[in-house]
Each structure stands twice: as C-alpha cells, then as structure tokens.
Amino acid sequence: MTEKLIQEDIEHEEYTINMGPQHPSTHGVLRLVVSLKGEIVERVEPHCGYIHRGIEKMCEKLTYPQIIHLTDRLDYLSAHMNNHAVCLCVENALEIEVPERVRYIRTIMDELARIASHELWWCSFGMDLGGLTCFFYGLRDREKILDIFEETCGARLLLSYNTPGGVMYDLHPDFQKRVKEFIVYFRKKIKEYDDLLTGNVIMQQRTKGIGFLSKEDAISYGVTGPSGRGSGFSCDVRKHRPYGMYHKTDFKEILRYEGDTFARYIVRMDEMRESMNIIEQLIDNLPEGDFAVKMKPIIRLPEGEYYQSIEAARGEFGVYIISDGNKTPVRVKFRSPNFCNLSALDLISRKQKIADLVAIGGSLDYVIPDIDR
Amino acid sequence: MAFNIYDLTSFTQSIDKALYSVLPPFWAVATEMLIIGVAILAFYAVVGLYLVYAERKVCAFMQNRVGPNRVGPYGFFQTIADLIKLLFKELVHIKSADQLLFNLAPFIVICASFLAIAAIPFAKGLHAIDLNIGIFYVIAVSSTGVIGILLAGWSSNNKYSLIGAMRSGAQIVSYELSVGLSLITMVILSGSMQLSVIVENQANGWYIFKGHLPAIISFLVFLVASTAETNRGPFDLAEAESELTAGFHTEYSGIRFAFFFLAEYMNMFIVASIAATVFWGGWMPLHIGGWAAFNHIMDFIPPFIWYIGKTAVVIWIMMWFKWTFPRLRIDQLLSLEWKYLLPINLVNVLLMAFIVLMGWHF
Amino acid sequence: MNNEELKNRVLTLVPESIITENKQFLTVIVPPDKLHKLAEELRYSEDTVFDYLFCLSGVDLKDTLMVVYHLTSTVYYHDIVLKVNTTDRINPQFDTVSDIWRTADFNEREVYDFFGIKFNNHPDMRRIFLDETTIKGFPFRKDYVDKNIIER
C-alpha cells in the first residue's frame, strides 16, 4: 500500500522551472514560473514588476502635455498610438475639434507604427521558433519605416509627436513620396515573409492546434487585439468606436475562428496588409491646413471622468482620467492590453509541451513595459 | 620522390620506402603512424577552424549582412582570435560534477570523429586506412560520439544538462538507423564496403547518376538523417539557446567547450565527405560518357580539389537549410524518423536490390 | 438598451444605487455589499449581457477609496460604469468579481498592490508588481510617504 502511494507520488511529482527575468524568449523582463510534469506544462505563473516605474503615479504630478511623453514608454512599439489616446482624451474633454489634416496625419502614422510593430513581432516569433534569418529580414524592412519617422519627428521609436490640439511639427515635404515608395516595396517583401515562414511545414506543425483560446475565454479574460481576433472575438476599436479617420476608410476587420497560435499569426500578417490598404487610401488625399490648434498654455480639464480607447498594435489601449479642474489629474489609469493578454497565458498553456510555451508566448506578443507600467 | 598531383600513391610509397630503408620495421611503422596522426590532427584543426568561419560568412550572406570582416582580410583570422580567447578563458571548476567523466567527455567526442576521418579517401593514394569494411567502420566509430554527449550531460550534475543530453542521445541513436540504411542501399549498388573500391567504381559515372531513383532517394534521406545525427540545422533543439533547457554543454567553459563546438563542425565535415564519397564519386572527376574533350578538362583538375569541392557543396547545403528553417520539436523530430524516414528507407533498400538484380542501373 | 432602460433596470435590482450620467457613460455607484449581485445580474441576464470588463481601476479620492468597473457588451454594444467606494482606509474590502469576469483576477491584484483594497473570495490575493520586502505601504494612496520620493 505504501509502495503504491510512493510510486504514485513519484509519478505525480511536479517540478518547477524558472524562465527567469533574463531569457532570450520572454521578450523583456518577465519571470515565468512553470510547473511541469514531465514535458507537459501544468501551470504557468507570471511574476511581473521587474520594470514597474510607477507611471500612473508620476502622471498625477505632471501636466497633460507632459503625460504624453510618459505614455511613449508603455508599449513602446505602439508609442504613437498611446500618445494618440491621451491626446484624444484631453481633446474630447475640452471639446476641441482638431483640423482634418491632423486626423489624417495621426491615422497614417498610427498605421505605419502598427506595421512596424507587427514586423518586429514577426522577427522575434521566427527567431523563437529557430528560424534565425527571419529576424534580419524583418528588421531590414522595419528600418525603412523608422527612417520615415525620423525624417518627420526626429525620433525613431519613442515619437512624442502628438500633442493636445494637434501634432508637434508639420510633415516633412518628402513624407508622401517616401510612404508610397515604402508601400510598393513592402508589398513585395511580405510575400517573401510568407515564403520563408508561413508556408513552412515545420512552422505550421509547431503552431497549428497549439495554445487554443476560445472566444468566451477571450472575452472573459479581456484578450483583445490580434490575439483576441484570432479566436473570433470582434474587438477592433477602429470599427466599434471609430476615431481619427477610420470612419471614412474602408478596411476589413480580420477575424479567424480557430483560436490557435497559427490563427493569431495569420491575423497579424493580414493586418499588416490591411494597414497598407488604409494608408493607401489616405496618403493621396492629405488636406492642407493647420497642423495644430492653438491651445492655452496651461491645460485644465473640467472636473469629471473621461475615458478614451484606441486600437494599439496589441489590443485595446485605454486612458481613464479623473480630473478635479486643476492642471494635473487626480488619477490616470492606463488600460493595458498586454496585461490582460498575459493573464490568459496560464489558461492556454496548460497541457501543452514546454517547447510550445515559447511559441505561445510569441503569438500572444506581449511587451513587458506595458504589463508593468 | 616523384610528386604526381594526380596520383599521390607514388609519393606515399616513396616515403614508405625511405622510412623502411632507414629504420627497423617496427620503428618505421611507428613513425608512419606518427606522421599520419600529426597530419590528420593538423587537417582537423585547420578545417574545423575554417568551417566555423565559413558558417559565419554563409549565415551572414543569407541574412543580408556581412559577417566577420575586421580581423584580417575579409575577417579571415576571426576564428584564430576566437580560439585564442577560448584558450585564455577560465575553466570553471564544478565541485559537484563527476571529475573524471566531466573531463573525459569532450575527448571521447573528439576521438570518435578523429577515428572516422582516418578511413576517408581524400585523393588517389591519400587514404590513411583502407579497410575492406570501410563504410561499416565509419558508421560504427561515429556512433561512439554519443557516449561523449551522454557522459557530458550526466557528469554535469545539472538536471537541465541531463535532459538535454538524453534528448540528444535519443535523437542520435534514432537517426543512426536511417544513416545506416541509406548507406547500405549504396553498398548494394556498389557490391563492396571498401571505400576505395566504391570510389574506383564511380570512374565512369557517379552513383547518384548510376543508381537513379533509389540513389537519389537515398541521398536525400542521408542528408536529412545526417543533419539530425550531428545535432545541426532544424534538429538542434538539444542545444538551442532560445529553448528552455540549455543543452548538454552548459557547464563546460573555455577550451572544453571549444572541443564540443569543434567536434560538431568536424562531424558535419565527416558526414559531408561520406556523402560526397559514396554518392558523388569521392575524388573522381565528373565524366559524361562520350564527351571526351569535357572529360579531359575535368581530368585536369586534381582529385584532391574535386574531393574538397564536393564536400564543400554538401556543407553549403547543410548550412543553407540550418539558416532557413525553424526548429523541430523533439517529438516531431523522433516521429519524423520512426514514422517517415525508416519506412521510406526500407522500401528504398528493396527497390535498390531489385534494380541491381534486374541490371536496370547504368 | 439605452441609458433610460439601463437606469431602470439597475434601480429595480439595487434601489439604493446612485446613478449619474455624463457624455460618455452611465455611472452607477453601488453599495459594496450589493456589488456582486448586481454584477452577476448584469453579466448573465439575456437583455444586458455585459460580458466584457474592459477597465478595472482603483482610485484614491482624498477621503474615500473607490474601485471603478467599466463594462460593455459584445452583443448589444452598450456601456455602463460601476463604482464602489468606502471610507475605511485601514482595512478596505470589497467582493471580488473574478468569478464573473476572469480578467478581474490580475486587475484586482493590481488594485490591492497599489491601494491596499482587499477583495473577498479572490483565488490568489497577493501583490503582483511590488516586492513585499522593499515596499511596505500602498504607493498609489495620496497619503503614502516614502523618503525616496523626491517632490518637484
């Protein structure tokens, strides 16, 4: 009897491994404590907080234009979109109407940032699976977008280009030409990406059927963005609560229903193509006009609560500001898409093999500074 | 001493005669062994170093960048610099590791690949040991390398190294079957296991052309299986950095790590040279029957260059698909062998035997 | 459902709630003991189906601690905001809603970490970002004092 119990004990022994804060595949400082039984994952516990900077608390002492510079550092790959969210929140609170040129500029820059962010995701996803060449191909093409950003805003990644009332400077005179050249170039390159990784049998075997997330779970866990749309959860903020120029452009919301890693992969690849369609529709019709509205030197929001959400590259990014009429807010809360996506990691990695954990993490595509804020 | 670049037999015979005339027989044989040992050691070291350089350059070419280009012209001395760095690195002493086995493991891996090189024909007359069971010997000794890997994992006293070593061991032992069977297919075609006979028989056409369909299938299977044997390419889960378990050589540092690293590249070289010898004619030039002028030009190139050229092409192919494909998971890797390659191999052996009996080869 | 109907619905479920409306959302201030019941009703009843909790925040107004839940429906696309507050700053407690919306699991841990608000029946009530050994209080509270913070 005791031998049987001991035997059962040994067979059911779980051992814990640490995918520590420094690891090539966790894309940042995240500690995952993984309980394994043999090769099968029983539980994954994320330990966050290694890059917590207290951004929300800092914002309580800063004026509204200063908050914009901090939002860059949340999900740094969708830096422009985060800035856009704060500007929209402030402008809606003050009931200011920005010129149409500003809306065009903001939308085009958003979509370019989205393409750059998805390219970096593709690079690191390929690299995690072992196809190291993907990393270099994606980065080479991303450099072209970063060059466009640098010409206009002066910065490559943390743009801080938006400001309440408009944008900081007008577009560079070559902007339209460069964006059009880029679109032609990238349409060819994205076919190369498909040849290299999407059609590869090894990659498909490692991603199809792995890490299933059902639609009800996606809604319950708040998994938005491409990860949620891969499970059939229609959550694109650009369609449901349009902002910028999205109500005037014609684009599809990419939805897939299989809910596995491969579905999330395909959603992101198709989103890159849709972003190019959106840019093509807008780039030729840039209206003339001001690039900013004259704002008061000190911006005070009227007393009350304001919420604005936008579609960042990884999901729904929301800004919730509570103001009491002063020049600094009482409370700023950033609804972080990556935080909610990470909470689903435990659910979808159960009963998968440890080697798949890397692929699942790559397909959820979390950026740690956004989780920790 | 006549040095005929096309037939080094006379050169080696003249050295042999000179030694026998000067020294008593025992010492002459001993000196010969010493000369061969040193020559192969030098070859091993130089080729190993330059394969690492070649890999870095090929990888850079595939990834749209330049690769090493600072140390020496075109970065030629980069590997020498890396070797000097590794020699100076601190050999971290692991207290809880099994000292004897821990230190022994890299040597076993190197010895296994060293033994295999001895049997390969580099050119006409430049053949260290010409056993009549050549292929069998080569497969057998290259299998002993797995002992080194398992010892490394076990003696490190680290559960991740052990997992990595077990996976690696399982992978190598499984793919041995495919390697062996595909070479047996070619033995059926040639009728002999002796490597020099195999090469001589390809004088009027390489086996891959003579044996058409089964030889081509055999070549492809051999290529896939030998990449898995040497833990390279899409089959390198056991030592990949971006996976969880860090592999059997985690605890090794400095020159001991360099041994494992070097042994991996030399295994790749050995496997490529076996492929070149058995399938592509070894040091035989490319002859197309009937085109006398073409054959004459091909004969002009010395056999040693042919051999190195063919091996280099096979190595290039192996590097090409390492840098293109993502990695296979361990269970997918083993199911590839047992469910796909093994049945294909068995059918192929039957096919080749049938074709040889019927006389339907060239 | 439009705001009027939602208002009536909430008032029938929890008559003590205080309902306000601004340009964006209909806001309901619920007494803490009725929160779980109201949340469950809103989530599971067929004509409201508030299945997506998109923002859960803790707020420290000078004298009260508040938790704000932003809900929306993926079926009807209507929104509502629930608020609970307490003046107890020593041991504030609310009921958890993580059994209704799984996203509340991590978010409530975050609120506990920053404000000290405990949630009853939460499966894993501990800090998520900060380290217990180095940070002893609850940093996002207005009365948090730390000698390392430099005031501008």
DSSP class per residue in B240-258 = -TTSSS--TTTT--HHHHH
Judged against a pLDDT cut of 50, whether residue B1 lies above it is answered with no
Mean pLDDT of A183-202: 88
Judged against a pLDDT cut of 70, whether residue A281 lies above it is answered with yes
The average confidence (pLDDT) of chain B is: 83
Neighbours of chain B (3+ CB pairs under 8 A): A
pLDDT of residue B2: 52
* Cα dihedral across residues C53, C55, C61, C63: positive or negative: positive
Decide if C75 is inside a domain. Answer: yes
Decide if C82 is inside a domain. Answer: yes
* B267 sits in which H/E element: helix B254-280
Give the confidence band of A112 by pLDDT, cuts at 50, 70, 90: very high
All residues of chain B having their beta carbon less than 8 Å from the beta carbon of residue A358 are 242-244
Tell me, yes or no, if A88 comes closer than 8 A to chain C by beta carbon: no
Which amino acid, one-letter code, is at B289?
A: G
Tell me, yes or no, if A53 comes closer than 8 A to chain C by beta carbon: no
Instruction: Give the separation between CA A220 and CA A234, rounded to whole angstroms.
Output: 13
DSSP β-ladder status, C26-29 and C18-21? antiparallel
User: Closest Cα of chain A to B298: distance in Å?
Assistant: 37
* Cα dihedral across residues B17, B21, B22, B25: positive or negative: positive
User: Closest Cα of chain A to B351: distance in Å?
Assistant: 28
Place of tokens 């950026």: A367
For C130, phi then psi, to 5°, come to: -90, 160
- CATH code, domain with C55: 3.30.460.80
Question: Per-residue DSSP letters for B29-59?
Answer: HHHHHHHHHHHHHHHHHHHHHHHHHHHHHHH
All residues of chain B having their beta carbon less than 8 Å from the beta carbon of residue A203 are 326
Judged against a pLDDT cut of 90, whether residue A115 lies above it is answered with yes
Domain ranges for chain A: 2-372
Cβ distance of B237 and A202 shorter than 8 Å: no
All residues of chain C having their beta carbon less than 8 Å from the beta carbon of residue A335 are 54-55
Tell me, yes or no, if B331 comes closer than 8 A to chain A by beta carbon: yes
Query: Who contacts B43 (Cβ-Cβ below 8 Å, separation ≥6)?
Result: B117
Mutate to test the interface with B, among A23, A129, A192 (most CBs of B within 10 A): A129
Place of tokens 């950095």: B241
Judged against a pLDDT cut of 80, whether residue B187 lies above it is answered with yes
Least confident interval from A288-292, A308-312, B158-162: B158-162
Nearest CA in chain C to A344: C103
pLDDT of residue A268: 92
Mean pLDDT of B324-339: 87
pLDDT of residue B37: 86
Instruction: Give the separation between CA A339 and CA B273, rounded to whole angstroms.
Output: 53
- What's the pLDDT tens digit per position in A341-369? 998 998 998 888 887 888 888 888 888 88
Instruction: Give the separation between CA A370 and CA A51, rounded to whole angstroms.
Output: 9
Beta partners for residue A37, in sequence order: A40
Question: Per-residue DSSP letters for C52-89?
Answer: EEEEEEEEE-SS-EEEEEEEE-TTT--EEEEEEEE---
- What's the pLDDT tens digit per position in B263-301? 888 888 989 998 998 888 888 787 776 777 777 777 777
Decide if C63 is inside a domain. Answer: yes
% of chain C exceeding 90 in pLDDT: 5
Tell me, yes or no, if B240 comes closer than 8 A to chain A by beta carbon: yes
Q: How many CB pairs under 8 A join A and C?
A: 72
Cα–Cα nearest to A114, from A311, A370, A363:
A311
CA angle A55, A59, A60 (to 5 degrees): 125
Judged against a pLDDT cut of 50, whether residue A277 lies above it is answered with yes
Strand order in the sheet with A40-47: A15-19, A31-37, A40-47
Q: Which two tokens stand for residue B98?
A: 């099994």
Mean pLDDT of B165-188: 88
All residues of chain A having their beta carbon less than 8 Å from the beta carbon of residue B236 are 130
Name the residue among B59, B326, B332 with its Cβ closest to that of A200.
Answer: B326
* C21 sits in which H/E element: strand C18-21
Judged against a pLDDT cut of 50, whether residue B355 lies above it is answered with yes
Interface of C with A (CB under 8 A): 22, 24-25, 27, 51-55, 57, 59-61, 68, 70, 74, 77, 101-103, 105-107, 110, 128-131, 139-140, 152
pLDDT of residue A70: 87
Tell me, yes or no, if A327 comes closer than 8 A to chain C by beta carbon: no
User: Closest Cα of chain B to A98: distance in Å?
Assistant: 44
Q: How many CB pairs under 8 A join A and B?
A: 68
Give the confidence band of B143 by pLDDT, cuts at 50, 70, 90: confident
Judged against a pLDDT cut of 90, whether residue A114 lies above it is answered with yes
Judged against a pLDDT cut of 60, whether residue B357 lies above it is answered with yes
Name the residue among A52, A222, A240 with its Cβ closest to that of C53.
Answer: A222
Give the confidence band of A202 by pLDDT, cuts at 50, 70, 90: confident
| CATH superfamily to which A2-372 belongs | Cytochrome-c3 Hydrogenase, chain B (1.10.645.10)
Mean pLDDT of B175-192: 89
Place of tokens 């850079």: B60
- What's the pLDDT tens digit per position in A16-29? 888 878 776 667 78
Cβ B273 vs Cβ B222: under 8 Å: no
Cβ A338 vs Cβ A314: under 8 Å: yes
ipTM of the complex model: 0.91
Cβ C100 vs Cβ C93: under 8 Å: no
Place of tokens 């339209």: A176
Would you tell me how many other CB atoms lie within 10 Å of the CB of residue B10? 13
User: Closest Cα of chain C to A225: distance in Å?
Assistant: 13
pLDDT of residue B138: 87
Give the confidence band of A265 by pLDDT, cuts at 50, 70, 90: very high
pLDDT of residue B246: 62
pLDDT of residue A121: 92
Tell me if the pTM is above 0.90: no
All residues of chain A having their beta carbon less than 8 Å from the beta carbon of residue B325 are 130-131, 200, 202
Domain that holds residue C35: 3-120
Secondary structure tally for chain B: helices H, strands E: 15, 0
User: Closest Cα of chain A to B217: distance in Å?
Assistant: 20
User: Closest Cα of chain A to C128: distance in Å?
Assistant: 6
User: Closest Cα of chain A to B94: distance in Å?
Assistant: 21
Give the confidence band of B245 by pLDDT, cuts at 50, 70, 90: low
Cβ distance of C70 and A343 shorter than 8 Å: no
Tell me, yes or no, if A89 comes closer than 8 A to chain C by beta carbon: no
Least confident interval from A181-190, A235-244, B284-293, C86-95: B284-293
Tell me, yes or no, if A240 comes closer than 8 A to chain C by beta carbon: yes
For residues C92-128, one letter each, b for 16 or more C-beta atoms within 10 angstroms of the residue's C-beta and e for the rest, the string is bebbbbbebbbbbbbbbbbbbbbbbbebeebeeeeeb
Decide if C30 is inside a domain. Answer: yes
Give the confidence band of B224 by pLDDT, cuts at 50, 70, 90: very high
All residues of chain A having their beta carbon less than 8 Å from the beta carbon of residue B319 are none
Neighbours of chain C (3+ CB pairs under 8 A): A
What does each C-alpha distance from A65 to A128, A298, A300, A311, A334 come to in angstroms? 38, 9, 11, 21, 16
% of chain A exceeding 90 in pLDDT: 25
pLDDT of residue A182: 92
pLDDT of residue A333: 92
Decide if C144 is inside a domain. Answer: no
Judged against a pLDDT cut of 60, whether residue A167 lies above it is answered with yes
pLDDT of residue B242: 45
Instruction: Give the separation between CA C92 and CA B354, rounded to whole angstroms.
Output: 85
Beta partners for residue C85, in sequence order: C66
Instruction: Give the separation between CA B295 and CA B288, rounded to whole angstroms.
Output: 7
pLDDT of residue A9: 46
Judged against a pLDDT cut of 70, whether residue A2 lies above it is answered with no
CA angle B238, B243, B246 (to 5 degrees): 55
Mean pLDDT of C110-129: 88
Cβ distance of A202 and B325 shorter than 8 Å: yes
Place of tokens 């339907």: B360
Would you tell me how many other CB atoms lie within 10 Å of the CB of residue B36? 14
Place of tokens 């070097």: B262
All residues of chain A having their beta carbon less than 8 Å from the beta carbon of residue B327 are 129-131, 202, 206
User: Closest Cα of chain C to A331: distance in Å?
Assistant: 7
pLDDT of residue B254: 75
Please report, in angstroms and rounded to a whole number, the separation of the first and last CA atoms in chain C: 47
Mean pLDDT of A148-163: 89
pLDDT of residue A147: 92
Least confident interval from A262-276, B86-100, C59-73: B86-100
Name the residue among A127, A136, A206 with its Cβ closest to that of B242.
Answer: A127
Nearest CA in chain A to B61: A133
Domain count, chain C: 1
What does each C-alpha distance from A239 to A252, A259, B34, B313, C77 come to in angstroms? 9, 21, 79, 54, 12
- What's the pLDDT tens digit per position in A316-330? 999 999 998 888 899
Instruction: Give the separation between CA A369 and CA A162, rounded to whole angstroms.
Output: 20
Mutate to test the interface with A, among C22, C44, C54, C62 (most CBs of A within 10 A): C54
Q: Residue B238 has what DSSP assignment?
A: G
Write the secondary structure of chain A as one string of H (helix), E (strand) and C (coil).
Answer: CHHHHHHHHHHCCCEEEEECCCCCCCCCCCEEEEEEECCEEEEEEEECCCCCCCHHHHHCCCCHHHHHHHHCCCCHHHHHHHHHHHHHHHHHHHCCCCCHHHHHHHHHHHHHHHHHHHHHHHHHHHHHHCCCHHHHHHHHHHHHHHHHHHHHHCCCCCCCCEECCEECCCCCCCHHHHHHHHHHHHHHHHHHHHHHHHCCHHHHHHHCCCCCCCHHHHHHHCCCHHHHHCCCCCCCHHHHCCCCCCCCCCCCCCCCCCCCHHHHHHHHHHHHHHHHHHHHHHHCCCCCCCCECCCCCCCCCCCEEEEEEEEECCEEEEEEEEECCCCCCCEEEEECHHHHHHHCHHHHHCCCEHHHHHHHHHHHCCCHHHHHC
All residues of chain A having their beta carbon less than 8 Å from the beta carbon of residue B65 are 136
